[in-house]
Structure 1
Amino acid sequence: MTGIAKLRRHRRSVVIAAALLAALGTTAAPAQADQGRWAAVWGAAAQPAVPTADWYGVNWSEQGFTDDSVRQVVRLTGGGTRIRIRLSNIYGTKPLHIAGAMVGYAGIGAAVEAGSLRTLRFGGTDATVVPPGREIVSDATPFRTSTGDRVAVTLRLDAPTGPATFHHFAMTTSYRAPGDHLDDTGATAFTQHSDSWYYLTGVETSGRAHRGTVVAFGDSLTDGVGSTKGADARYPDRLAERLEAAGLPRSVVNAGIGGNRVLTDSPIYGEHALTRFSRDVLARPGVRSVIILDGVNDLAAWNETGPVTCAQIIDGHRTLIRLAHARGLRVIGATITPMGASAAYSPDGERIRQQVNHWIRTSGEYDAVVDFDRIVANSDRIRAAYDSGDHIHLNDAGYRAVADAVDLDAL
């Protein structure tokens, strides 16, 4: 694709994003300390089904489900007295039949705390059907939660789903049992494990004071690839912990997708940032600010769409800024971290990375800047103390360091 064609595509993306917002009819205006409003307190960005990656582990997205119960454990970054979930069939090829859904406090592994299960309903009924290309939100259910609570969401899928809309790099374990185990609080039946999330793209709460959700938007560095599985050690997790410790009632939603790009779609890593920004950021309730860390995959030596320019990446960031500002959101730009010594590195990519980072730091177009690059970089490489081992992704210490660099007042 030529540079002119890409720029034209970017302009089309702005139009598409505006149309999508109108179609969704959702509100992402800055939230006040209003106990009656809904706030996103956990999230995952939807992706199309992809094959299992040997290095990461089994995922069930391509084959989907037929007669199964799927239990997924997530950690909330905000609390409330009512709860609802968001389910996505955005990449489905057939209607998704939900025979039932439950939420409860997570125990060890796939277990749920006895007596904590609550039925989630949809339009007053236990079952629902999600058409292909659509998302739905469950009814409000009384369920008291606090920041840091781990909740288990169980879905009963009793008809062939086809390929599943999912999120690949969950960095935690999901569980599957054949048949109906919707109200089973034990772990014994859930013998199949996967490190991905399926259909579940959001958890939202209301009933407590809340001053707005922060969305962390980007690629694998936001997704937490390289962190310890099951440890909630991604940088958005650490940021949520800091907000809680500071007594600031703000939740954090992770909208990263490993491998995602600013400018071009990928058959494996999903729609590019300009297309998915509306769904993954603007359509979530209570959003007040967004941190954008994106561009490393556009610069990677393996990018099959061909070379990009500094101007094209900056134009993409400007589009994201405009979309966010149009909805009254505060936008924080994060500098792109290095790839030196990795298979993704190229001299041209490094040159453009430095140029884009200079623009992020000095242009004044972002409302605030967090300089992840200066925190973790030693020239064109990640510092050894922060390197997960592949010279692209951070380890737990690296993710903690960049989260600690975020000025909470900037949010």
Structure 2
Amino acid sequence: MFTATATATATRAFTTAWTASPQLPAEGFTPNWSREGFWRQSLRQTVRLTAGGGRLRVRLSNAYGTSPLRIAGATVARPARGAAVEPGSVRPLTFAGTAGAEIPARAEIVSDCVELPLERLESVTVTLHLDAVTGPATFHAQAFATSHRGAGDLLHDTGGHGFTESTESWYFLSAVEVDAGGRRDGIALFGDSIVDGFGSTPGANRRWSDRLAERTGRPVLNAGIGGNLLLNDSAWYGEKGVHRLSRDVLDHPGADTLIVLQGVNDIGFSETDQQPTYRPAPVVETGELIAGYRRLIHLARARGLRVIGATLLPFGGSDHWGEHAAKVAHEVNAWMRDPAHGEWDAVADLHRALADPADPDRLHPAYDIGDHLHPGDAGYAAMADAVARVL
């Protein structure tokens, strides 16, 4: 029988090895199952861990559910090809000692820990059996990885043949934590689609969060949401950064550093008519963004984190670019680089690292996926290298 002290000690041993920020059910950028939800189905999702350990546990989120979410059962396993998992590696998850759980609306749950030794940069497969109607599902729209579903209870289906549908979003799963002896050197990346990894090769783990974990050997928490804004909420793009930081970063165990890369959507959405759920967009001024950054710095510092600011990447020629956006981007980056105010613990100058020498307002062609806004794999590697130098 665990005492309260023993339970607290066990909790302190865990470090967050993977995260995905929850979002409202929405049509999203690609077809997904968030609005229809699940019923009498199993959901299988594989994620890559940035820390290793002998035991793990998972966090499941019903943050945007309007009714309780029933989990009939759950397992973890070592992944194989596609929806298959390694025979003999399947471990049942429990929740307060029972096989199933009910997560209240607007809440989350943490499973009991289970023994499944995994090394840093190995992946784990989490399978959920959802036997009752879930209603619209809390999800993360852009996974850049494949999730699977199939009819019935497939918790122990090692071959994966029962999983007949796939999508590139994550559902309900918001974190995996490992028993890493209480290490507290995690790096949390916070921001929009560039943090999320838009433009990286799907299924290849080539986001800059992946590259940073590989380069530093430290756990990395990815708290990016495509389209996310620092100052305003959006139906597709998540709650504003100043509101979601606590849930998506500070409430996870193990991070000691926060890196903020956010603001290009705040200033760019007013320049484009291409945003399907966010118009008319307010015209945001430099002082408003700086006030938002200061709010993030204050919240993170209050929890003992070191805070690194990342300059806005070049985005000239994109649909976010315009006279006002250019002015604010230049002013924000100048403020970040100015050592006089000393508000960041360090600054990663990603603008200079990725700029085209022939036109510093544009991404270097070698890093540009073609929309003049998002880097590809090579650009994300360059970003991680630039950040690693200031850690």
TM-score tier after normalising by the smaller chain length: over 0.9
Q: C-alpha distance in 1, partners of 2:369/2:108?
A: 35
Counterpart of 2:372 in structure 1 is 391
User: Which amino acid in the other structure matches residue 288 of structure 1?
Assistant: D
Secondary structure (helix, strand or coil) at the match of 1:139 reads coil
Q: Number of aligned residue pairs: give it.
A: 369
Could you say which residue in structure 2 is the equivalent of 1:367? 345
Could you list the runs of 5+ residues in structure 2 that have no partner in the other structure? 1-9, 273-277
Question: In 2, Cα distance between the equivalents of 1:370 and 1:52?
Answer: 30
Give the Cα–Cα distance (whole angstroms) in 2 for the partners of residues 334 and 121 of structure 1: 40
Residues 93-113 of structure 1, C-alpha deviations (whole Å, 9 max, x = no match): 111000001001011111100
Cα-to-partner distance string for 1:33-89 (whole Å, 9 max, x where unaligned) = x99611000000000011143xxx321001010111000000000011110000000
Equivalent of 1:268 in 236, 241, 258:
236
SS of the residue corresponding to residue 77 of structure 2 reads strand
Q: Which residue of 2 aligns with 1:37?
A: 13
- Aligned residue type for 1:405: A
Under a length normalisation based on structure 2, what TM-score does the superposition of the two structures give? 0.92
Structure 2 partner of 1:377: 355
Work out whether 1:351 is the aligned partner of 2:314: no
**1:287 Cα shift?**
1.4
8 Å contact kept, 2:51–2:180: no
Deviation at 1:208? Answer: 3.9
The 3-state SS of whatever aligns with 1:406 is: helix
- CA drift of 1:338 comes to 2.1
Aligned-partner Cα distance in 1 for 2:293–2:283: 17
State whether residues 120 and 126 of structure 1, in contact with CA within 8 Å, keep that contact through their aligned partners in structure 2.
yes
What's the secondary structure of 1:81's corresponding residue?
A: strand
Q: Which amino acid aligns with 1:167?
A: H
Q: String of CA shifts for 1:300-340, please: whole Å, max 9, x gaps.
A: 12363310100000000000000000011000110011221
Distance 2:328 2:226 in 1: 21
Amino acid at match of 2:234: S
In 2, the alpha carbon distance for the partners of 1:180 and 1:285 equals 32
Deviation at 1:283, TM superposition (A): 0.2
Structure 1 residue 286 corresponds to structure 2 residue 262: no
Q: Does residue 167 of structure 2 align to residue 200 of structure 1?
A: no
Q: How far apart are the structure 2 equivalents of 1:87 and 1:386? A: 35
Residues 79 and 208, structure 1, Cα contact 8 Å, conserved in 2: no
In structure 2, the partner of 1:115 is 88
Asked whether the equivalents of residues 216 and 388 of structure 2 are also in contact (C-alpha less than 8 Å), the reply is no
In the TM superposition, residue 281 of structure 1 has moved relative to its aligned partner by 0.8
Determine if the alignment matches structure 1 residue 58 to structure 2 residue 31: yes
Shift of 1:343: 1.4
Match in the other structure for 2:151 = 178
Cα distance in 1, alignment partners of residues 85 and 41 from structure 2: 17
Q: Is the 8 A contact 2:15 2:182 kept in 1?
A: no
Match of 1:328 in 2: 304
Q: Residue deviations 1:14-40, cap 9 Å, x none? A: xxxxxxxxxxxxxxxxxxxx9961100
State which drifts further: 312-321 or 211-220.
Answer: 211-220
Instruction: Quote the Cα distance in structure 1 between the aligned partners of 2:298 and 2:182.
Output: 29
Tell me how far apart the structure 2 counterparts of residues 52 and 329 of structure 1 sit (CA, whole Å): 32
When residues 145 and 36 of structure 1 are mapped into structure 2, their CA distance, relative to the original with a 3 A threshold, is farther
User: Does 1:160 pair with 2:138?
Assistant: no
CA distance in 2, matches of 1:39, 1:166: 22
Corresponding letter in the other structure for 1:367: D
User: Where in structure 2 are the equivalents of 1:215-294 lying within 5 Å?
Assistant: 215-244=188-217, 250-294=218-262
Q: TM-score, normalised by structure 1?
A: 0.88
Q: 2:342 is aligned with what amino acid?
A: G
Range with greater deviation from structure 2 (359-368 or 157-166): 359-368
Greater RCO (CA < 8 Å, at least 6 residues apart): 1
CA contact (8 A) 2:196 2:207 kept: yes
Structure 1 unaligned spans of 5+: 1-33, 245-249
One-letter amino acid of the counterpart of residue 252, structure 1? V
Identity of aligned residues (%): 50
